[in-house]
Chains A and B, each alone.
Chain A
Amino acid sequence: METMDISLFSMIIIYGLLAIPVALSLFFKLGNVRAIGVAVLRMTGQLAVMGFYLDFMFRLQNAWVNFGWVILMIAIANFTVNKNAGLKTKRFYGVIFTGMTVGSISVLAVFVFVAVRPEPLYDARYLIPISGMIIGNCMRANVISLERFYSSIKKNEKEYLTYLLMGATLREATSPYLREAIKPALAPTIATMTTLGLVSLPGMMTGQILGGSSPMVAIKYQIAVMIAIFTGIIISCIINIYLSTRIAFNEYQVLKRDLFRGK
């Protein structure tokens, strides 16, 4: 079964729906009409570009291009992680790249090469969207965990030093902050898994059902994707915290504050 296309006329009607939020925004003087306009334009432009390149990649079906694309996604996600977690990109880029790559590629490999096994294995139709979901979620989680880890050590530096003075190793002294950082990074995914199917129908499943898959196939993919995301997040967050501590602390285990953005 093919998904029913939306005609150009229908798309215009859909865009016409935007008149409602714009009118309400003007009526209540929310002052965000310009922001709405920019957001809609960006969404349209970005998705149009994405539609074209996905279409191109699906037709090209080249292993190098597909894997190169996955690496490029990780590289771009890495900039976001460094910037939003307050780390100086120049110093942490290599470390975060390692964590993101190991975390996302390992679960991606199990998902695509062992569980789904498309023909060919590098089929862009599977590789690109699945890796996008995994990398995107790892990126968000790593921003939270790295930011939380270093900000809580900075905030509780006396407490951290107290642990060192009690004879703790770097790993022991940073453990409380690692726990504090990983929990909030995992929390959204745990919450999503807990309520999946109760509160909302997940996007991927909705897409597959609209695309003609049976609901049973769609739920299997959804479960697999959630487990892959969850596993990828915990692997990448822990690797990134451990590897980053090698450069974030000096040889006396004191935090090097000049490696962080801002104060």
Chain B
Amino acid sequence: MVRFEGVEVRYGGKAILQNVSFDIGEGEKVVFYGKSGSGKTTILTTILGAHIPSRGRLYFDGRVVNAKNIIDVRRAVSYIGQEPVLGAERIIDAIFLPYSFKVHRATVPSEETITGLLELLHLSRDILNKDAAVVSGGEKQRVAIVRELLQNKELFLVDELTSALDRESKGAVLDLFRNSGYTLISVSHDPDWYKICTRFMKVEGGRIVLSSDHPEL
């Protein structure tokens, strides 16, 4: 589904990713781990076209990613950052934000679907009328997950998704991804998150130094 072939990404003259290669298949649940600043998040944002590789190639669904098809890649991927940007003043407007763009206008979700997903992630329906500025970090993360789930995408790129969640909400999020067929490409330091992952890649100095099907002890 996503393949890096000797990818190098430079920023301000410095190589942030060097010779990164991997191949992630459909349904895999991958986690990148390593020290902060090692380049983990850059791997995710490179898939999303926030950086253009200075060397190497990036494939998505067998096609080389380029300027012409990057919009299709973005439309096929759900991304939830460490501090999700809701992009609207009220939660309800944040949930409906994607449907203000032409590509999603015909697929506006029903209220029942939204309420069902909110419940699934232990969020009350009342949150919809709340101001985005007053909700907690954990609620914001779950709202962002609900918004992405509503778009029915198959690939999730998530960055420290469980970092702001309490025990109960974390359990709900972990169950959601564990029991799904979603392909998951994640960045995390959370041992609980590792339990739902099937592949572990250690990133150091912009390189992948270890790839294994079990977490490093």
Contact = CB atoms under 8 A, between A and B. Distances in A.
Interface of A: 158-159, 161-169, 172, 250-254
B71 to A, nearest CB: 7
B50 A250 contact: no
A167 B48 contact: no
Interface string B68-107: 0011001101010101010100000000011011111000
Contacts of B81: 158
A257 to B, nearest CB: 9
A250 B71 CA distance: 13
A254 B74 CA distance: 13
A158 B104 CA distance: 21
Which size class do B's interface residues fall under?
Answer: 20 to 34
A254 B49 contact: yes
B67 interface: yes
Contact of B79 (A159, A165, A169, A250): A165
Nearest to B79: A165
B85 A159 contact: yes
Interface in B183-213: none
B85 A164 contact: no
A44 B151 CA distance: 66
A165 B85 CA distance: 11
Nearest to A162: B85
A167 B101 contact: yes
A158 B50 CA distance: 10
B52 interface: yes
20 contacts: A158-B81, A162-B87, A163-B101, A165-B48, A165-B74, A165-B79, A166-B98, A167-B74, A167-B75, A167-B98, A167-B101, A167-B103, A167-B104, A169-B71, A172-B100, A252-B50, A253-B49, A253-B70, A254-B49, A254-B50
A172 B67 contact: no
A246 to B, nearest CB: 13
Contact of A166 (B50, B66, B67, B101): B101
B90 to A, nearest CB: 15
Given A165-B79, A169-B71, A253-B49, 12 more contacts: A159-B87, A161-B50, A162-B85, A163-B87, A164-B49, A164-B74, A166-B98, A167-B74, A167-B75, A169-B101, A251-B52, A252-B49
B105 to A, nearest CB: 10
Contacts of A252: 49-50, 52, 67, 70
Nearest to B103: A167
Contacts of B52: 250-252, 254
Nearest to B49: A252
Nearest to A173: B101
Contacts of A254: 49-52
B85 A251 contact: no
Contacts of B87: 159, 162-163
Contact of B77 (A161, A165, A168, A253): A165
Contacts of B103: 167-168
Contacts of A167: 71, 74-75, 98, 101, 103-104
Nearest to B83: A158
A99 to B, nearest CB: 25
A169 B72 CA distance: 11
A110 B147 CA distance: 50
A177 to B, nearest CB: 12
B132 to A, nearest CB: 12
Nearest to B101: A168
Interface in B34-79: 48-52, 66-67, 70-71, 74-75, 77, 79
Contacts of B101: 163, 166-169, 172
A172 B102 contact: yes
A140 to B, nearest CB: 31
A253 B67 CA distance: 9
Nearest to A163: B87
